[in-house]
Structure 1
Amino acid sequence: MSLRFRRSMKLMPGVRLNFSKETVGLSFGVPGARYTINSKGRRTVSTGIPGTGIYNVETLSSGTRSRRSSAAAIAQETETWQAPPAPGLFARKPERELNKFLLDIYNSDHRDDPSSVIEKANALKELYPELKYPLDLISFLHGATDEKWETDVAKWGATLWEQRDAAFSNKYVLKYFKGIKPGVTISPGITTQLHYNVQTLGFIWSEILQSLKKYDDAVAVLMQIEPDQMVGISLADIEISVGDFDGAIETTEDIEVFDDATAMMMVLRGVAFRGKDMHEAAIECFKRALKQKQMPEALAHRALFERGVTYGLMGKKAMGVKDLEKILVDNPDYPEVEKKLAELKK
């Protein structure tokens, strides 16, 4: 089956982000009057009568989510490390020591625990204050994977986010961080695949704020990073968390499933419809998401779980049991699946 490559995401009232295969664009206005500009410089104005399909386009120029710890949002294999570039023949001592530090903590034969990494980073920072930004970013990243560092990580995150431009323009960060690729779980079933940059820091910090139930602050962070599918997923997830189901439905409107991210957005759309007791609409969303071929197991399980729960609410217990038992075949430890099965089998 062929699916058109198109997606659109609400950023704020009256402003939407539009994607196509070649471009990304912003659209401003209200139904019946919109101004659009895309990444290729094409600007258009559309006017018309909403609901009629009559428009004139002028080209001007060519579930509810349960609270989880911040540590759970960072993948256990936090870093995919590529060998760092050589410091260079004339590199100064601080850079050489940073290079040694990275080779040590990302040694393929062993991985230091977060406390050990943070201890080594602090010791090195005392010797070479100019390494502050790369070492603080490393400490924050590793501390975020361990709940015992939760209080410190919250402080570090606030500071680093405020200083993010300076941190990621640091010469050592620019040179050595391209091989560090944290896995950040934006929503159960979908994980970022970016190197450690401002975008990744924003996602990690937003997840930490959500774990602290500071949802408004988490949204504010997301609105300050480059808008993409992952931002849309995270926004919809937050809206569901706070019971803003209408907001989540609006955030995920005009979605067509063509990859893992859009499949996840369709799942969240289904969860939002379920939150409004619109169960048939929810089931249709889950069905569309599950049509995505070769999706990751975690994403397929999320869609099956949400559909199974919805079937249960509709009184279709046998169908709900069937979906949930499919998950058990691959992952008997999937959160809450045993509990939901027991409820459906009563």
Structure 2
Amino acid sequence: MAFRFWRRIQLLPGVTLNLSKSSASLSLGPRGAKYTIGPRGTRTTVGLPGTGLFYTVQNPGRGKTRSASARPQPDQPPVPVRDQLTLGFFKRLITPADEAAFIDGLQALHSGDESEALTQLEAAPEQPDARWAAGLLRLKREDLDLAQAHLQAALEQREVLGSLYAKYGIQATTHLTLTPEVTAHIGPRERGTRLALAELHQLRGETTQARAHLEAVLVQTPDDVVVKAALAELLLEAEPLPAEAADQIVHLAAGLENDTPVHAALLLYKGRALRALGLDEAAVATFTQAYRRKKDRPEALLRQIRYERALAYAAVGRRGDSRRELSAIYAEDPGFEDVAARLGVR
């Protein structure tokens, strides 16, 4: 499962251009329901506003290479998601009860009834896909015990996780805010489930368990920069930062280029780790690398990088550079961190 990070450019109300590193697509429709045209065909996306959960029905295509007959015609609209999730009377007679409950749960979620969705999804305890969706909804509500039970059950059946979604042509995706700078878009797979469990354990202050899930993902996909950033942020919670944890963060970011905002966040964490190891000159160079690209970077992230570089400048005796950085930050955001106090303004 790939994690996707989107930069969204609002063109018109209800029309959004979605840009990723490898492709672009156009989404049309109100909040909570989108029809998207992209290089892989068309897809209809609907979701429950405020939950982070949304479901996509893919209408396969081959971009510019597909034949004219394969393109959606005006009299052949994509199958509405509501119809995709509706079991007819006769089909319901031969559909197992727990599978029908799963479909009813997604239908309720599509309709905006989160409570009914949970009731139906939790009525299908033998279906890992239902447990996965119920776990994420419980996590949203911070019902952590139930969320853990559902997600752990889904993880234990990871070999078949996602199969029911695939059977009904549904792509299920949600997003998790892993760090202040990093959001992961996840689906019903082992990686997404482990990330959700890591977030759950972190909410409980169970660092060891959260770390174990993130490290398990990295064993399978060692170059996953999203998981690296999440693990580095988790390790940085320890105060003071142990040398072993700082060394692990530096290794996580070894050879990293500043390609995306996620890479910049991981470089920020690397710089903090270098400072904890007493390597302030190296930290200055790392923060400079992280700040070098500003386009498409969140202002809050750039400001945090400048602040950390100001502290590193001071640590290596470059007081003038440190004050210039702090002054620039103060001019933009006078309430940021302890910048005013460091400048002697108050």
* TM-score, length basis structure 1: 0.61
Q: Distance in 1 between matches of 2:235 and 2:129?
A: 33
1:278-317 → structure 2 map (5 Å cutoff): 278-297=279-298, 299-307=301-309, 310=312, 316-317=322-323
Residue identity in the other structure for 1:181:
T
**What's the CA shift for 1:177?**
8.3
* C-alpha deviation, 1:285, in angstroms: 1.5
Cα distance change on mapping 1:124 and 1:249 into 2, 3 Å: closer
Q: Does the 8 Å contact 2:246/2:277 carry over to 1?
A: yes
Supply the AA of the counterpart residue of 1:250: H
| Aligned 8 A contact 1:194 1:200 in 2 | yes
Is structure 2 residue 145 aligned with structure 1 residue 151?
Answer: yes
Give the alignment of 1:256-267 within 5 angstroms. Answer: 256-267=257-268
Instruction: Summarize the Cα distance change of 1:273–1:172 in structure 2 as closer, same or farther, 3 Å threshold.
Output: same
Aligned amino acid, residue 342 of structure 2: L
**Residue 219 (str. 1) matches residue 211 (str. 2):** yes
Asked if residue 134 in structure 1 is aligned to residue 129 in structure 2, the reply is yes
Query: In structure 2, what residue type is equivalent to 1:207?
Result: E
Query: Alignment partner for residue 79 of structure 1, among 47, 53, 56?
Result: 53
* Partner Cα separation in structure 2 for residue 238 and residue 254 of structure 1: 21
Deviation for aligned residue 1:232? 1.9
Question: What is the aligned-residue RMSD (CA, Å)?
Answer: 3.5
- The CA deviation at 1:104 is 2.9
Q: Quote the offset at 1:318 in angstroms.
A: 4.4
Shift of 1:282: 2.1
Q: Could you say if the C-alpha distance between residues 150 and 125 of structure 1 is closer, same or farther in structure 2, counting changes exceeding 3 Å?
A: closer
Is structure 2 residue 220 aligned with structure 1 residue 230?
A: no
User: Counterpart in 2 of 1:164?
Assistant: 158
- Cα drift, residue 186 of structure 1: 2.6
2:342 equivalent in structure 1: 344
- In 1, Cα distance between the equivalents of 2:158 and 2:248? 29
2:184 is aligned, of 192, 202, 211, to: 192
Bigger relative contact order, structure 1 or 2 (CA pairs below 8 A, ≥6 apart): 1
Aligned to 2:178, what secondary structure does the other structure show? Answer: strand
Contact 2:121 2:134 in 1 (8 A): no
Partner of 2:277: 276
**1:122 and 2:126 aligned:** no
Question: What is the Cα deviation at residue 160 of structure 1?
Answer: 3.3
Query: 1:2-46, CA deviations, whole angstroms, 9 ceiling, x for partnerless residues?
Result: xxxxxxxxxxxxxxxxxxx9xxxxxxxxxxxxxxxxxxxxxxxxx
Unmatched tracts of structure 2, length 5 or more: 1-20, 22-48, 58-80
Moved more, 93-102 or 259-268: 93-102
Letter in 1 for 2:56: Q
CA contact (8 A) 2:194 2:213 kept: yes
**Corresponding residue for residue 325 of structure 2:** 319
SS in 2 for 1:204: helix
CA distance in 2, matches of 1:176, 1:301: 45
CA gap of 1:324–1:142, structure 2 versus 1, over 3 A, is: farther
Residues 229, 265 of structure 2: 8 Å contact kept: yes
Task: Report the CA distance between 1:295 and its aligned residue.
Answer: 2.8
Distance 1:179 1:258 in 2: 28
- Quick one: structure 1 residues 193 and 151, their matched pair in 2 at CA, closer, same or farther if it must change by over 3 Å? closer
Distance 2:175 2:323 in 1: 35
Distance 1:175 1:283, change over 3 A: farther
1:9 is aligned to: none
The aligned amino acid for 1:133 is: P
* Unaligned segments of structure 1, at least 5 residues: 1-20, 22-74
Aligned residues between the structures: 254
Name the CA shift for 1:142/1:300 in 2 (closer, same or farther; >3 Å): farther
* Residue pair 2:272, 2:283 contacting (<8 A) in 1 also: yes
Alpha-carbon distance between aligned partners in 1 of 2:263 and 2:338, rounded to the nearest angstrom: 26
Distance 1:177 1:293 in 2: 39
- Decide whether the 8 Å contact of 2:307 with 2:329 is kept in 1: yes
Question: Which residue of the partner structure matches residue 109 of structure 2?
Answer: 105
CA distance in 2, matches of 1:307, 1:204: 32
Q: Which moved more, 1:191-200 or 1:266-275?
A: 191-200
Identity %: 19
3-state SS of paired residue (2:226): helix
One-letter amino acid of the counterpart of residue 129, structure 2: P
- On the 8 A contact 1:307/1:320 being kept in 2, the answer is no
Q: 1:233 to 1:179 in 2, by over 3 A?
A: same
The residue correspondences of 1:244-259 to structure 2 (distance < 5 A) are 244-259=245-260
In 2: Cα distance, 1:247 partner to 1:308 partner? 24
